[in-house]
Chain A
């Protein structure tokens, strides 16, 4: 079965600084990759997804992620963060068996 590792449990960053949240996956089959965001007391919302095609995927709120097959990574980036980006971010992988697995999450805290 596929699995996901989010390498950082917490990432503090100052407002307007760039940020990268790291995600590595393992799978023996073709995968589909996702990033979700969870704001306090809310459910998970999709930020972006990689299904096929271009390895650079753009999502909502200025986020983007790059699929790297050789490194089995799907890191999330934003060139300039805002206070409102403070949230928990989850990387997820879905294989052909329709099973969707999430990483442990990365708490992004944006400081003024």
Chain B
């Protein structure tokens, strides 16, 4: 158990809908990362927050947004969903910049039908 909790584990929704994925980082970790893993594109970095502020942005679509709350949990919002958004979404956390690894949650599997 990495200590990173993601909910829900599975999500099935229709095209055009909006969903929210939730991540609780390890206790004490200030950084949260979001990744999308799909068969055709591998593991893609989406966005990173550090202590409530956006720190880095990767290949995140405009239809997607995220935030980190004062209690350090994070949410990834996906809107106007398309079939191609079906993927495994991972959250990871780490405690400080630079020399520590990221700890991953088990992921949320999103299926858009």
Contact = CB atoms under 8 A, between A and B. Distances in A.
A110 B103 CA distance: 26
A103 to B, nearest CB: 8
B25 interface: no
A43 B101 contact: no
Interface in A72-112: 90, 92, 94, 96-102, 104-105
A94 B103 CA distance: 13
Contacts, number: 58
A32 to B, nearest CB: 5
B42 A104 contact: yes
A102 B90 contact: no
A102 B50 contact: no
Interface range, A side: 20 to 34
Contact of B97 (A46, A51, A96, A104): A96
Given A43-B106, A99-B56, A102-B35, A34 B45 contact: no
Interface of A: 32, 34, 36, 42-46, 49, 51-52, 90, 92, 94, 96-102, 104-105
26 contacts: A34-B101, A36-B104, A43-B2, A43-B104, A43-B105, A43-B106, A43-B107, A44-B92, A44-B104, A45-B2, A49-B101, A90-B43, A94-B99, A96-B98, A97-B56, A97-B97, A98-B55, A98-B56, A98-B98, A99-B45, A100-B45, A100-B92, A100-B94, A100-B102, A101-B58, A102-B35
